[in-house]
Structure 1
């Protein structure tokens, strides 16, 4: 993201309560109340998966830490900006938990279920 200092001064810094995942989306949602957001469709960005925290596009290889913050923050972001969409997001997360269970990832399945029912920290 490239923004002027004046934008940061008006919008504020990224929310620290996310820690990982969704903090930039939260910031963009707050920004668009004041500014028009844009993007460059021709831009190409290479991002080598999150090696530090063990995030991966393959859900069988993601770390527990990555899963926790991804699922917790998805709920947090939705509740903060799109509360009307919470039932749909909740349902999709429940399906994702079931999928983890069918794959034999029972610990991850229960982690998602715990997040759905209020777990907010590791």
Structure 2
């Protein structure tokens, strides 16, 4: 980002992206979680990995500031959810599922970083 956009216009771009990302996160989370009868929070894990991969992909592209704000900060920011990840991990610990909580932390952090790198490398391979 070049940092030329600021104030209300930048906030509007982030909000527009977030208005699409947040409901998509909720719907994807519910769709995925409804198909798994386990303690592991597969829905949150999935949206966080997808968002990380997409953000890595966008980071490798020569997108302008408008797209970066709307898609990166707005859409990907709303699609991914660190707060839900934290909450679900804490609930797992409180419910005595410490191994699942630890697996969630390790898999989410490593998976998110890996997904971001894969998205970045994919974009580089596609754009040359």
TM over 0.5: no
The structure, 1 or 2, with the larger RCO (C-alpha pairs under 8 Å, 6+ apart) is 2
Greater fraction of residues in helix: 2
